[in-house]
Structure 1
Amino acid sequence: MASSPTHSEYSPLLGDTRTKPSGDIDARQVGPLEISTTTRYLILLGVWTATFLSSANMTLVPTMLPSISSEFQKSHQASWLGTAYLLATCTFTPLYGRLSDVMGRKSATQTAVLFGGLGTIACGLSTNMEMLVASRFITGIGGGGISTMAAIVVSDMYSLRSRGLAQGIASVFNGLGFGVGGPLGGLITDWLGWRWAFLIQTPLFVLSILLITFKLEYDTPGVGKNAVQVLKRIDYLGSITLLITVASTLIFLSTRYNESLPWSDVAVFLPLTASLVFFLLFVFVEIFVAREPVLAPFLLKEKVPVLVGISNFLVSSCNFAMSYYFPMWFQTVMSTSAAIAGLHSLPSSIAMPIGSVFAGWMMHRTGKYKVINLTFGILPFIAGVLIAQLREDSGPIQSWLSITPIGFGNAVVMQTTLVALLAHIQENHMAVATGFSRLFGSLGQVTGVAVSSALFQTVLERELRKRIHGSDAEGMIKRIRQNARLIETLPVDQQQMVRHSYDVGLKAVFWFATFSTLLAYIVRLPIPEKDLGEEPRAGGVAGSTSTNQSERDASHEDH
C-alpha cells in the first residue's frame, strides 16, 4: 500500500474498504468488513482476553498490599503500586490512537499486549519495592493501550450502529476483570504467594498475543509502515510533558495532603510549580510543535468530542473514587473484614457489564443513544446520594445494593458517549478520537484517586484533631491516618471517635463522587442525537450493518 507523501493529524485512518470484484480482493489484503466471522471472533477473543487481564491488574494489587509490604518492609511506598499503573495508563493511552494509524492495528495491539504481559511477569519476579513499582508502570503502559486498541478494533469490524452492542459485550470482559481481580488476588496470595498472582497470568497473555499475531491481518491503509517513519511520528515531547505534569501533580497532592507538609516545604512547592510549568509546556507543544499531537487539538474545536471528553473525565473520577473508598467505609466504620468490605463493591462490578450490554443492545435496536444516556445516566447521582447517607444501622439493601446503579448507569453512559463521539466525527479520525476520549478517562481515573485521597486525608485529620487530645495526640493521629488497622487496638471509647472521624472523611469523598457524576450529566445534555443508520438485519452484531451498499455487500459475503 503506497504511503501518502505528507501526513498530519488529519491523515486518513481508513482507505477505501469497499468490496471489489473477486479478482481484486484476492490481490490484496481484505478490509475489516470483509473478514470471515470465525476470524472476527478469534480477533475479539485475543483482544478481549487482554482486556480482561488489564482490568484484573487494576484491582489485583490492593488485596496483596499487606503481603507485599511485609516482605519488602516499605509500606509507605505501597500506594505507588496503584498510582504508577494509573500514571502510565494516563500518559500512554492517547499514543495508541496515533500508533494504530502509523504502525497498523496489528503492531499497535501487539505492542500494548507485550508491555502488559512483560510488565506483569516483571511484577512477579521483582526483588524489591522499587522494581515492583517500575514493573507496575510498565504494565500500565500496556494496560492503557489494550483498552484503546480493543475499542479501535471493534470499531473497525462493525458498523456504527452495531458498535455499541459489540463494545457492550467487550465490557463483560472488562467488568469481569474488575470484579474478580481483587478476590482472585487475595485467594492466590493466601494459597501460593503474591508473586503467583502475577505470574499465573502468563498463559493468557501468550494466548492473546498469538491470536493477535496470526489473526489480526485485515488491511487498514495507513502511513509510515517502517520503523523510522513510525518513530519520527511519535509525539515524544507531548508524552514527556504530560507524564511530568501528572506525576508532579500526584506528588504535590501526596506531600501536601497525605503527609500534611506545609506549603513552604520544597517537597510541596517544587512539584506544584513543576506541574503548572509542564502543563503549559504540554499545551504549547500540542498546539505549536507536535507534528501529530497526542491530544489532537483539532478535536478541541468540535463540541461533541469536548463534551464527551469532559463527561469521561468526570465519570471516571466518580468510578475510581467510589471503587477505592466505598469498601473502606465498611472496614473502618462497620468493622467488617477486608474480604467482606471488598464484596460490597461486587454488585457494581456485576452491574457494569450488564449496563454496557444493555446500552449496546438498545442502540443496536433503536439506532438512538441520547434518550438512553439521559434516562439511565442519572442513576449514578441517585446512588451517590444513597451512599452518602449510609449509617451504621443502615439495612442490607442500602448497604449492599446502593452502589449498583453506579456500575450500571456509568456503563450505559460510557457506551453511549463513545458511540455519540464516533457518530459525529469523520471515519478517518476514528482511532485518534478514541484515543482522545480515553485520555480524558485516564486523567479522570488518576484525578478520582488522587483528589479523593487528598480530600479524605484532609477531612480525616481535621476530625481527628477535634477528638484526640493529649501529649501524644500528634503521633497517634499520624499513626491512625497511615494505618486503619490500628483502630481495633484502641480503647473502646477512642475507637468510636476514630470511626466517626473516618465516617466524616469518607462521606466527603462520596459527595465528591456524587457531585462529579451530576456535573457529568449536565455536561452531556447539549450532546445532540444522531441516527445511527438503517434498521439492523437479523443475525445481530455478527452481521455488522452499514449505511452504504458496499459495506452491506461485504457483510453479506461474511455470512
Structure 2
Amino acid sequence: MSTSHERAPLLPRIDIAIHKKRLGPHEISRSMRYGILAGIWMATFLSSVNMTLVPTMLPSISSEFQKSHQASWLGTDYLLATSTFTPLYGRLANVLGRRGAAQVAVLFTGLGTIACGLSTNMEMLIASRFLAGIGGGGINTIATIVVSDMYSLRERGLAQGVASVFNGFGLGFGGPLGGLITDWFGWRWAFLCQVPLFLISLSLTTFNLRYVTKGKGKSAIEVLKRIDYFGSFTLLISVGSMLMFLSTRFNANLPWFDARVIVPLALSIVFFIVFVVVEIYIAPEPVLAPFLLKQRIPVLVGISNFLVAICNFTITYFFPMWFQTVMLTNASTAGLHILPNSLSMSLGSVFAGWMMHRTGKYKMINLIFGIFPFIGTVLISQIHEDSGWIQSWFSIIPMGFGNAVVLQTMLIALLAHIPESHMAVGTGFGQLFRGIGQVGGVAISSAIFQWKLDSALRERIHDPDAEEIITHLRQNARAIGTLPPRLQRIARDSYAVSLKSVFFFASVSTLMAYLARLPIPEKDLDSRPRSNSAPSLPPPASVPSSSLASKRRSRDVEGEHDQEQETEGECSEELSASTTPDSEISEAEASFPVSRSPTAMPQRRRRLSTFESTEGILDLESRWIGGSARTGTSVTD
C-alpha cells in the first residue's frame, strides 16, 4: 500500500506528459496554429513574388551582364524547377514530416534568392533561379498539406481560400515591387530584401510546426533511398528539352532540320517515355503516383489544373505586353494592368472557400463560376486600341475570379475522392500538373507569339534591310516607340495580331478545362471524419519503463521491414500491451516479434505511390528536421 501511495502522485504527471507529446494537428492550440499559418503563408507570398518578379527587372539585368539572349531563361528555369520538384514534396511530407519538408522548401528558396542577389554573371543568376525554384513549388504544396492536416475537409476550403490571397498578392505585386525596387536601389536588392522575411518564415515554421501525425519514424538513410531520383531526373530533362526546342525553333526561328531543333525535341520525347516507364514499372516509390492515373477523378482534376495554369500564365505574361507594345504605355503602367487579376483571384479563392464551408458542396459553384475564365479571355481577345478604360482594366477580372474558384474547388474535389492517407501524395499530384501547365503556358504561348509575330512582320515589311528590322523588333519590344511613324504603325499592328493569337490560345485552354471538369461528381464534404490526428494512448499505469523501451526497440526493428499491412497490427499490439498487467508483460513481449528468419520474412513489394500507410503520414526521428510529425516525439524535443 505504501508503495502504491508513493507512486500515486507520479501517475498523473506521466499521463499529462504523454498527452502533451501526442497533440495532433486538430488538438494544437490556436496560437500554434496561427503561427504555423503565418510561417507557411509568408513563404507562399515570397514564392509567388519570385514567379513574377523578374520580367520587370530584365532590362536592368540584361544591360549589366550584356546577355539579353539568355534573359528569358530567368523566368522559365524557375518554373522548370518548380514543375519538376513539386511532386517530390508530396512524398517528402511523408518521409521527412511536415516541418522537415517545409524547412527544405523554405531553405532552398531562400538560399536561391540570396544567390540571385549576389550573382556575378548571367550563368550564376540562371542557376540561382533554378535553385530557388526547387523550393518554390514545394512551398505551395506543403502549405496545402499542412492546411489539410489542421482542418476538416469542409473547413479547409475556406482556409485554402485565405491561403490563395497571399498567393494572389504575391503574383500581383511581384512585378510592380520588382520594378520599384530596381529603380530605387538596383535589381540585386529586389532579391536581397526578401531574406529577412524568409528567416521569419523559417523561424515560425520551425518553432510552431510541431504537431504529430500517425506513423513511425525512418532513418535519414531510409529517406534518401526512397527518393525517386531517376524519375525526377527524366522529368527534368524531358521538360527542359521541350523548352529548349520551343526556344530554338520559334524564338530563335531556326529551321526544323537544324540540330539545335531536332536534338532537344528528340530528347524530350525519349526522356518522357523513359519517365513514364520508370514511374509505372521501375521506381519503388514514384513521384507521379501511377495509381492515381488509374482513377478518373484525379486524372480529370490534373487535366483541369494543367489547362487552367496554361491560361493563367499565358495572360499574366502577355496581357501587359499589349499596353506596352500596342498602346505604347510605360512598363510600370503596363504591369499594373495585371493587378486586377491578382485581386480578383484573391476574392475568388475566399469566396469559393466560404461557399464550400457554408454549403459543403463544390459542384454547383464550379459549374457557374468555372465559365467565367472563358468569358474573361474572350473579352481580352476582343480588346483593341480604341477600347475604353473599362475593358482595358476590368476585362481580366472574370478570368482571375473564375480560375481561383476552379482551383479551390478542384483541390477539394481531389481530396474528397482519395483516401485520407493519400492526401499528401494527392496534393503533389495535382500540383505537378499545375506546375507543368505554368511552364507550358509561358513556353507554348511564347512560341505561338513569336511564330505569329514573325509572319505578321514579314507580310508588312518589304524594305531592303527587312531581315534586320524584323529581328530587331522581335528581340526588343521597347524599341517600337522610337521607330519612324510608318514602321511604328506596322510594328504595333503586328504585335496586336500576334497577341490576339495568344489570347485566343488562352480562351481555348480554359474552355477545354471547363469541359474536362464536367464529369466530376459532387461529394458531401462532411462524409469523411478526421483521421489524421495523433492517437491518444491510455496512461501506462503499470508498465515499467524498461518494458516500454524494449517494446519500442522491437517496434523499430519490425518497422525496418516496411510493410503497410503490419502497421496497424503493431500499433494495436502496443496499445494492448500498454494496459497489460506486470505479470503478463513477458507473455506480451514474447508474442511481439523482434526478428524474423529469412524464410519467414515477407517479400518487399513495390509501392504504388509515395510511402502509404493505413495510419497516414510518416516522419523522421529528428530533434529539428522532421521530428515533429512522428507519433511519440516530444513537443519539447
- With normalisation by structure 1, the TM-score equals 0.92
Aligned to 2:480: 487
Contact 1:110-1:212 at 8 Å conserved across structures = yes
1:391 aligns with 2:384: yes
Percent identity of paired positions between Structure 1 and Structure 2:
69
For 2:598, the equivalent position in structure 1 comes to: none
2:526 match: secondary structure: coil
1:391-414 C-alpha deviation (Å, 9 max, x unpaired)? 111111111100011111000000
Check 1:532–1:255 CA distance in 2 against 1; reply closer, same or farther (3 A cut): same
Say yes or no: does 1:361 pair with 2:354. yes
Secondary structure of the 1:392 match is coil
Alpha-carbon distance change, 304 to 24 in structure 1, aligned in 2, over 3 angstroms: farther
Q: How does 1:155-194 map to 2 (within 5 A)?
A: 155-194=148-187
Q: Could you say which residue in structure 1 is the equivalent of 2:96? A: 103
**2:471 aligned residue:** 478
- Indicate the residue corresponding to 2:223 in structure 1: 230
CA distance in 1, matches of 2:376, 2:216: 47
CA offsets per residue over residues 188-208 of structure 1, 9 Å max, x none?
111111111110111110011
Structure 1 position 284 matched with structure 2 position 274: no
Q: 1:168 touches 1:360 (CA, 8 Å); kept in 2?
A: yes
CA distance in 1, matches of 2:93, 2:532: 24
The one-letter code sitting in structure 1 at the alignment partner of 2:451 is T
- Map of 1:117 onto structure 2: 110
The match for 1:262 among 248, 255, 261 is 255
- Cα deviation, residue 470, structure 1: 2.3
Residue 7 (structure 1) aligns with: none
Q: Which residue of 2 aligns with 1:271?
A: 264
**3-state SS of paired residue (2:383):** coil
Residues 31, 218 of structure 1: 8 Å contact kept: yes
The answer to whether the Cα contact below 8 Å between 1:102 and 1:222 also exists between their aligned partners in 2 is no
Unaligned runs of 5+ in 1: 1-20, 535-545, 555-559
Change (3 A) 1:160 1:25: farther
For the residue of structure 1 that corresponds to 2:271, the secondary structure is helix
Aligned-residue offset at 1:125 = 0.4
SS in 1 for 2:218: coil
Contact 2:248 2:254 in 1 (8 A): yes
Q: Structure 2 CA distance, aligned partners of 1:388 and 1:443? A: 24
Matched, 1:501 2:494: yes
> Which residue does the alignment assign to 2:444?
451
Shift of 1:185: 1.0
Corresponding residue for residue 418 of structure 2: 425
- For 1:533, what is the secondary structure of its paired residue? coil
Give the drift of 1:494.
Answer: 1.4
Query: Which of 27, 30, 39 is the aligned partner of 1:46?
Result: 39
User: What is the aligned counterpart of 1:375 among 355, 368, 379?
Assistant: 368
* DSSP 3-state at the match of 2:24: coil
For 1:457 and 1:220, the matched residues in 2 are separated by: 50
| Aligned partner (choices 60, 66, 76) of residue 67 of structure 1 | 60
- Cα gap change, 1:549 to 1:75, in 2 (>3 Å): closer
Greater CA drift, 158-167 or 214-223: 214-223
Measured in 1, the distance between the counterparts of 2:373 and 2:476 equals: 30
Q: 1:22 to 1:157 in 2, by over 3 A?
A: farther
Selected match of 2:508 from 493, 515, 533: 515
Amino acid at match of 1:298: F
1:349 to 314, 339, 342: 342
Q: Out of 296, 300, 303, which is 1:310 matched to?
A: 303
Distance in 1, matches of 2:144 and 2:129, equals 23
How far residue 29 of structure 1 moved from its aligned partner, in angstroms, is: 2.8
Q: 1:354 is paired with a residue of what secondary structure?
A: helix
The question of whether the paired residues in 1 share the 8 Å contact of 2:214 and 2:532 is answered with no
Work out whether 1:142 is the aligned partner of 2:132: no
Q: Normalising by structure 2, what TM-score? A: 0.80
- For the residues of structure 2 that align with 1:548 and 1:235, how far apart are their CA atoms? 30
Query: Which residue among 49, 71, 81 is the counterpart of 1:88?
Result: 81
Distance 1:158 1:512 in 2: 38
Tell me the C-alpha RMSD between the 2 structures. Answer: 1.7
Are positions 1:205 and 2:198 aligned together?
Answer: yes
SS of the aligned residue for 1:466 comes to: helix
Give the Cα–Cα distance (whole angstroms) in 1 for the partners of residues 444 and 68 of structure 2.
21
Partner residue in 2 for 1:539: none
Q: Check conservation: 1:109, 1:212, Cα contact below 8 A.
A: yes
CA distance in 2, matches of 1:341, 1:303: 41
Deviations 1:246-296 (A, max 9, x none): 000000000001111011111000000000000000000000110110100
- Tell me if the contact between 2:108 and 2:132 (Cα under 8 Å) persists in the aligned partners: yes
Between the aligned partners of 1:25 and 1:350, the Cα distance in structure 2 is 46
1:131 and 2:124 are equivalent in the alignment: yes
Q: Describe the shift of the 1:269–1:548 C-alpha distance in structure 2 as closer, same or farther (beyond 3 A).
A: closer
Unpaired stretches in structure 2, ≥5 consecutive residues:
1-13, 537-637
| Separation of aligned partners in 1, 2:384 and 2:178 | 30
Match of 2:405 in 1: 412
Structure-2 separation of matches of 1:461 and 1:190: 32
The answer as to whether partners of 2:152 and 2:530 remain within 8 angstroms in 1 is: no
Q: Is the 8 A contact 2:213 2:532 kept in 1?
A: no
Which amino acid in structure 1 is aligned with residue 350 of structure 2? V
1:358-416 Cα deviation digits (max 9, x unpaired): 00000000000000111101000001111100011111111110001111100000000
Letter in 2 for 1:463: A
Which stretch of structure 1 is more off in the superposition, 465-474 or 449-458?
465-474
2:267 counterpart SS class: helix
Which residue is 1:14 aligned to? none
Q: Deviations over 1:497-539 (max 9, x none)?
A: 11111001000000000000000000000000001117xxxxx
* 8 A Cα contact 1:224 1:230, kept in partner: no
Residue identity opposite 2:194 in structure 1: Q
Distance 2:164 2:439 in 1: 20
Q: CA deviation at 1:25?
A: 4.9
Asked if structure 2 preserves the Cα contact closer than 8 Å seen for 1:101 and 1:223, the reply is no
Residue 340 of structure 1: which of 322, 333, 342 is its match?
333
How far, CA to CA, are the matches of 1:385 and 1:27 in structure 2? 56
Tell me how far 1:549 sits from its aligned partner.
10
The Cα offsets for residues 96-122 of structure 1, whole Å up to 9 and x where unpaired, read as 001110111110110000000000000
Deviation at residue 220 of structure 1 after TM alignment: 1.9
Q: State the aligned residue count.
A: 523
Deviations 1:303-348 (A, max 9, x none): 1100000000000000000000000011111111111111111111
Q: Using the alignment, how far apart are the partners of 2:24 and 2:283 within structure 1?
A: 30
> Take 1:550 and 1:53, find their aligned partners in 2: how far apart are those partners?
29
Superposed CA deviations along residues 460-485 of structure 1, whole A, max 9, x for unmatched, are: 00010000012211111111101111
Contact 2:25 2:532 in 1 (8 A): no
Task: Quote the Cα distance in structure 2 between the aligned partners of 1:303 and 1:520.
Answer: 15
Which SS does the other structure have where 2:273 is aligned? helix
- Cα distance between partner residues in 1 of 2:530 and 2:388: 54
The amino acid of 1:124's aligned partner reads G
Specify the structure having the higher radius of gyration (Cα): 2
The DSSP-based 3-state class of the residue aligned with 2:462 is: coil
